[in-house]
Chains A and B, each alone.
Chain A
Amino acid sequence: MSNRETRGRGAAAPPVEISNAETIRPAPAPTTYRRSWSAAFLRRELLLLIVMVAIVLASVAHHPYFWSSRNIAFILADSMVITFLALGETFVLLSRGVDLSIAPIMGLSACIVGFRAQDHGMTLLPAVFLGAAVGLVLGLGNALLVAVLRLPPIIATLGTLSVYGGLQFVVTGGRQVDHVPTQYTDLGSETLTWGIPTILLIGCAAVLVTALVLRHTMFGRSVYATGNDLEAAYRSGIRTQRVIFVCYLVCGLFAGLAGVIYLMRTGSAVATTGTDTDANLNAIAAALIGGTALTGGRGGAFGAIAGSVFLSLTLTAMVFAGIPAIWQPAGVGAAILVAVLADGKARRRNNTFRLGRVRLRRSS
């Protein structure tokens, strides 16, 4: 938590005996990885699913309309923006970073794409590419600051949050996007494929691809390794800074795509899109509730969609239960607390290890 990491630079360690013991870790067997990942998956996602089923059952008992296909489709489709943001954030969180600038990246992408679509009638396919490009460029800024200049991620992205937010004002120049071609909004809410909202299928495809990349590619495994223990990953030959660099790029990419999704869902974009609804914190919250750890190396793509559906579901359930929507943030906060407390205990149990007859607490 607050311990200074002294691993890997022997000279940096304070000349105290304890601090050497502190640096000892159990040998990182490659299998531990997968086991802990699936364990986390089982525990967190299953738990979340049970809670969600309970919420749905309670709501249906109150209002039968809750279980209408239209309402369920709305809940799921409505969570797609946050899902995309949370997917990107998952990469960064897994690599033990944090990106606080995704809200203005999403907003900028929505505004730039929106104006092109509104004023020049840009069709969907180029729009997706433009959104992705905007996200990549802005993500590149974060990646340069964090992976090349080595700024602490939280500060670097706090800075770019201001910069990108200002850029968004510049781009809009006081105008707003309010009538994009119906092609966009149709795909956002109306179009069905096999009876399922198309946008939901797009989201699920993105989650699947992300999950495959994270679990079964060299890059994905390097992200987990880097987030788990940067020094160990470096020593086992992973180009850690390059991995972190790509993570921020991917995060920007997803935020840019989220902007296009946002445009499809709402058909509008203004200078404060993204920042005014706390899209940053909601995306991080979704990832955290879905079981991704802020300390890196744990979590995954399914957590991102589970967390964002959870957020969307609770909001709708609250509306159905007659609780004012202003309490939703408090619910989110409570959910985060419960999620990390349940998790924190598990972590603390594993946080001590034996060295001879002495029990020691591990750092970080």
Chain B
Amino acid sequence: MTNIALPRRYALPTWGLALVVALVAELVYFSLTTRHFAGHGTGMLVLTEQFVPVGILALGAGMVILTGNIDLSSGATASLSAIVVGTELRHGTGMWGAIGIAVAAGVGFGLFNGFVVAFLGVDSLLVTLATQFIATSLATSIGGESPPYGFSDMFQRIGTGLVGPIPAALLLFLILAAITVVLVSRTGFGRALTLIGYSRSAADYSGIRTRRTLVIAFTLSGLFSGIAGLVLAAYYNSARDDIGTTLLLPAITCVVLGGVDIFGGKGRIAEVVVAVFFLGFLTQGLLISGRSSLTVTMITGILLIVALVVKLSLERQAGESLGGALRRLLSERGFRRPARQR
């Protein structure tokens, strides 16, 4: 009934395939109904600049969620990174130096989260809730009363520049996504990540250094938050202390929509990447066709719930009919993991 969902190499993932179909359908729909959406083909690519930071956050969050933990601090860390890079640039630090400091801040927070979660055994929801508050305060105090704005063209190019027809930000996201996909699905680290999420004690007993793996996962999440903060600052050419906090929920939505089990141990980063594009284009398409942002927020929320219900009812046990799976889902205690509630 429950298999350890390590990547099956030769079977096409159903959920991912469904996402790709939905993505294509959505692109076609918006291209036909909304002017300016396709924009001679390249306009669609430029739209991606809007949701690349969410995607980068989702990559980190995906890895953390695969281990059965959660990182609520990634949005605030992205804000902090954006503020830090902005302030450093305004103070005349060189571009690479500023970027280095900002990313280091993200990595620092990730390391701290990882250490507390892995070595002190505190629930990650609590730890990252706390560090989220701390990162927000830090960002607000560093930003001060007049948050930095107006950066050099060179730096802005990270957020708005083009490499051929492809936005630099999209390229950055694709590179990071490729690295993450390979890391999670093709390396021992990725296997360890998934196994920890499936069963921490099984991972312990099979000789995996679970603590180290957890620390690395959180650190990578912090690193990606830092990079997302850079892209945000470069894209908006300014940094505010809440610039990244609003990205947390969409990022987690992408991860869940991408089929990653919120309890860990199941999921593919590649599907998360498809979900990022699906949700991103959906948001942008709706906004361009004149829907208000609150409608888009509501649709995102409903989509999250519906996707989850569909996915849970599709997870059939061996030899079970679709209706049977639904009935099991609705019965008093038929659910696969009754004791796991969070």
* Alpha-carbon separation in the docked complex, A241 to B331 (Å): 9
Q: Do B202 and A344 have beta carbons less than 8 Å apart? A: no
Q: A334 to chain B: which residues have CB within 8 Å? A: 130, 134
- Tell me the nearest residue of chain B to A335, going by C-beta: B130
Contact of A281 among B129, B308, B309 (CB under 8 A): B129
- The answer on a CB contact under 8 Å between B342 and A158 is no
Are A4 and B337 touching (Cβ within 8 A)?
yes
Contact A19 B129 (CB under 8 A): no
Q: Count A interface residues, CB 8 Å.
A: 79
In the complex, A234 has a CB within 8 A of chain B = yes
Nearest B residue to A328 via CB reads B137
Q: Is the CB of B252 within 8 A of A158?
A: yes
B333 interfacial by beta-carbon distance below 8 Å: yes
Interface residues of A: mostly helix, strand, loop or mixed? helix
Q: How far is the CB of A16 from chain B (nearest CB, A)?
A: 7
Which residues on the B side are within 8 Å of A361 (C-beta)? 201, 204
Say yes or no for B29: interface residue by CB 8 A criterion.
Answer: no
- Picked from B137, B308, B332, the residue with its CB within 8 Å of the CB of A329 is B137
B221 at the interface (CB under 8 A from A): no
A336:B120 contact, CB within 8 angstroms: no
Contacts A9-B336, A163-B301, A288-B126; A97 near B308 (Cβ below 8 A): no
Q: Is A134 an interface residue (CB 8 A)?
A: no
- Cα(A347)–Cα(B121), bound, Å: 9
The stretch that binds A, out of B49-57, B65-73, B228-236, is B65-73
Q: Which residues of B contact A326 (CB under 8 A)?
A: 137, 140-141
- The answer for the CA separation of A8 and B132 in the assembled complex, in Å, is 36
Taking CB atoms, residues of chain A closer than 8 Å to B125 are: 98, 154, 294
A151 at interface (Cβ–Cβ under 8 A)? yes
**Within A257-306, which residues are at the interface with B (CB < 8 Å)?**
281, 284-285, 288, 294-296
A-B contact count (CB 8 A): 217
Given contacts A151-B312, A152-B262, A163-B298, contact A241 B201 (CB under 8 A): no
Residue of chain B at shortest CB distance from A271: B294
Asked if A156 is at the interface (CB within 8 A of a chain B CB), the reply is yes
A1-B121, A148-B330 known; A230 vs B341 contact (CB < 8 Å): yes
Closest-by-CB residue of B relative to A285 is: B129
In the complex, what's the smallest C-beta–C-beta distance from B335 to chain A, in angstroms?
5
The reply to whether B69 and A337 form a contact with Cβ atoms under 8 Å apart is no
State which residues 322-347 of A face B: CB under 8 Å: 324, 326-334, 336-337, 340-341, 344-345, 347
B122 — which chain A residues lie within 8 A by C-beta?
340-341, 344
Contacts of B133 in A (CB 8 A): 281, 285, 329-330, 332-333, 336
Taking a contact as CB atoms under 8 Å apart, the answer to whether A160 and B301 are in contact is: yes
Q: Does B302 contact A (CB under 8 A)?
A: yes
CB nearest neighbor in A for B266 = A4
Find residues 208-226 in chain B having any chain A CB closer than 8 Å to their own CB: none
**Interface residue range, chain B:** 35 or more
Whether a CB of chain A sits under 8 angstroms from the CB of B106 is no
Most chain A C-beta atoms within 10 Å of own C-beta, residue among B138, B141, B329, B333: B333
Determine whether B339 belongs to the interface, using a CB cutoff of 8 Å to chain A: yes
The verdict on B338 contacting chain A, using a C-beta distance below 8 Å, is: yes
Smallest beta-carbon distance B56→chain A, Å: 20
B181: A residues at CB distance < 8 A: none
B256 neighbours in A (Cβ, 8 Å): 155
Q: Is A230 in contact with B338, judged by CB distance below 8 angstroms? A: yes
A residues 157-201 touching B (CB-CB < 8 Å)? 158-163, 165-167, 169-170
Which one, B1, B130, B341, contacts A11 given CB within 8 A? Answer: B1
Cβ of B153 within 8 Å of any chain A Cβ, yes or no, is no
* B-side contacts of A281, CB under 8 Å: 129, 132-133
- Closest B residue by C-beta to A232: B339
Question: Of B12-20, B34-42, B155-163, B191-199, which stretch is located at the interface?
Answer: B191-199
Chain B residues within an 8 Å CB radius of A153: 341-342
Contacting pair A156 B305 (CB below 8 A): yes
> In whole angstroms, how far apart are the Cα atoms of A229 and B200 in the complex?
19
Measured in the bound complex, the distance between the Cα atoms of B301 and A354 in whole Å is 46
Q: Contacts A151-B308, A239-B332 hold; do A4 and B205 have CB atoms under 8 A apart?
A: no
With A19-B202, A158-B249 known as contacts, the answer to whether A336 contacts B329 (CB < 8 A) is no
* Cβ of B167 under 8 Å from chain A: no
Cβ contact within 8 Å between A333 and B130? yes
Closest to B67 in A: A2
Instruction: Chain B residues near A331: list those with CB within 8 A.
Output: 137
Measured CA separation A329–B309 after assembly (Å): 35
In the bound complex, how far is the Cα of B305 from the Cα of A44, in angstroms?
A: 36
CB-based nearest B residue for A14? B202
Residues of A contacting B134 in the complex (Cβ-Cβ under 8 angstroms): 329-330, 333-334
Q: Which residue in B132, B196, B298, B341 is a CB contact (below 8 Å) of A162?
A: B298
Do A234 and B338 touch across chains, with their CB atoms under 8 A apart?
Answer: yes
**Contacts A158-B253, A166-B297; is A333 near B201 (CB within 8 Å)?**
no
Q: Is A7 an interface residue, CB under 8 A from the partner?
A: yes
With both chains docked as a complex, state the minimum distance between the C-beta of A229 and any C-beta of chain B, in angstroms.
Answer: 7
CB distance from A94 to the nearest CB of B (A): 11
- B116 to nearest A CB, angstroms? 7
Which residue of the partner chain B has the closest CB to A329?
A: B133
Give CA–CA (A18, B201) in the complex, Å.
9
Min CB gap A324→B, angstroms: 7
B259 at the interface (CB under 8 A from A): no
CA distance A300 to B69 in the complex (A): 25
Report the minimum CB–CB distance from A54 to chain B (whole Å): 21
A19 to B199, Cβ gap below 8 A? yes
The chain A residues found within 8 Å of chain B, CB to CB, are 1-9, 11-12, 14, 16, 18-19, 22, 95-98, 145-146, 148-156, 158-163, 165-167, 169-170, 229-231, 234, 239-241, 244, 281, 284-285, 288, 294-296, 324, 326-334, 336-337, 340-341, 344-345, 347-348, 351, 361, 363-364
Q: A4-B68, A345-B120 are in contact. List 4 more A-B contacts (CB 8 A).
A: A149-B330, A153-B341, A285-B133, A337-B131
